[in-house]
Structure 1
């Protein structure tokens, strides 16, 4: 009996290891930098730095580079990553295309400025209801992770909250986030997301680590009031999140 139990355990571990390595192989991802202006109106590379490096981090975590689309307000500046132009129609069309090729799950990541009405995408505002419709029409009931790095981004949670989704935002609905100055490499939230990802096992752990990192940094730099990043996980997705594990650093592919 003991040998049988050990055999089943070995088979389960082998299967789990295979699933872990392939967890995001059939997921689509869209990563958007929605602006290029710093908080004082000058120029910043912060949003595009985050777009580029989040894309690289997703590749290391197990996403297939062919299934990731990037967008920038100034795509002509970034020949190395060849992003598309950040406009809502083009982003939606890319979501349609890539979700059709990678039907396992969806990730949407936006880094930009935010307002109580939504997040900036070039000269337009992406409203929570519009993003909800875009996700409904492309990702449907698939496991979906949405990350919004912007001031007031908690405003997206009610519109996006469905049982198959996880939503992580840089701030609560009535708070700003920090780190959008000309000298910042990334906004604070994106910096914490990227710094936490190598140690996180899955998106649930990453969300908690990112929130803790933001809190620690804001306290250290005396930023007030705190942004209070928001985490929402639907009941259907919650028990599944640990099954969608990031690749171990030693086995991750280079994008």
Structure 2
């Protein structure tokens, strides 16, 4: 009886989602969406900062071990970027893409957006993507699996309470009551996205990446005199926290830009 139980336990372990993911890399069966939600700088003029972040964060995710074919990009000006072929950044299109890809890539989901924000939500083209709407989109499209949500925008800490789930990690560019920086016409990336990209190659998982981003943003703000400090936030669900060692980044591929 004990032997039979042991065999059953081994089979459960062998065919669990985490073990199956490890067979081809921990993120090989994840879906990912990366969004540039605006094209306007703080001045109102155009900026490439958000689309630069979209493009290069997607490359960084591939370097971490995400399948390139599973990373879907969205822009408010998709016609400007034929090489990347992003979809148009609209809530319905993003939700449909998440849900469709998650039907085949069932191990986990990642959502990343770089844009402007307010205490009510973040800019998504002509729309305002509110925290509870994003939570509903992700909960419905990616049920019963781990997820990572990264919000690069002013006041993005407002997203943490509605998005909290035991199996989710949330990383935001600012506290609920603080702006973030680096969204000018001449900026290559917002500060947070630049730090995400610079910290990614040496991070072992999303928790250490979040800590690296926090330290990097603090340095950049001090060096440039940007204040008050944005204080990027990281929250890790209790069910996901002990599992993070299973989701180590793949370092066999080309490093992120």
What TM-score do you get using the length of structure 2 for normalisation? 0.90
SS in 1 for 2:150: strand
Match of 2:92 in 1: 89
The answer to whether 1:170 aligns with 2:173 is yes
Q: 1:163·1:237 contact (CA, 8 Å) conserved in 2?
A: yes
CA distance in structure 2 between the partners assigned to 1:26 and 1:44 by the alignment = 34
Q: Which runs of no fewer than 5 residues in structure 1 stay unpaired?
A: 1-15
Count of residues paired in the alignment: 237
Match of 1:48 in 2: 51
Match of 1:245 in 2: 248
Sort the Cα spacing of 1:72 and 1:79 in 2 relative to 1 into closer, same or farther, 3 A. same
The answer to whether 1:121 aligns with 2:109 is no
Cα shift readout 1:44-92 (whole Å, capped 9, x = no counterpart): 0000000000000111111001111100000000011000000111011
Cα shift readout 1:159-210 (whole Å, capped 9, x = no counterpart): 0011110000000000000000011000000000000000001101000000
CA-atom RMSD in angstroms: 1.6
CA distance in structure 2 between the partners assigned to 1:19 and 1:85 by the alignment = 33
What TM-score do you get using the length of structure 1 for normalisation? 0.90
Q: Which runs of no fewer than 5 residues in structure 2 stay unpaired?
A: 1-18
Sort the Cα spacing of 1:198 and 1:254 in 2 relative to 1 into closer, same or farther, 3 A. closer
Runs ≥4 residues deviating over 3 A: none
User: By how many angstroms is 1:19 displaced?
Assistant: 2.8
Choose which of 40, 59, 65 in structure 1 pairs with 2:68. 65
The answer to whether 1:32 aligns with 2:35 is yes
SS in 1 for 2:123: strand
User: By how many angstroms is 1:141 displaced?
Assistant: 2.2
Q: 1:34·1:112 contact (CA, 8 Å) conserved in 2?
A: yes
The answer to whether 1:192 aligns with 2:195 is yes
Q: Which structure 2 residues correspond to residues 130-169 of structure 1 after superposition, within 5 A?
A: 130-169=133-172
Q: 1:20·1:244 contact (CA, 8 Å) conserved in 2?
A: no
User: By how many angstroms is 1:97 displaced?
Assistant: 0.9
Cα shift readout 1:102-161 (whole Å, capped 9, x = no counterpart): 000010000000010000000100000000000110111211000000000000000001
CA distance in structure 2 between the partners assigned to 1:199 and 1:20 by the alignment = 23
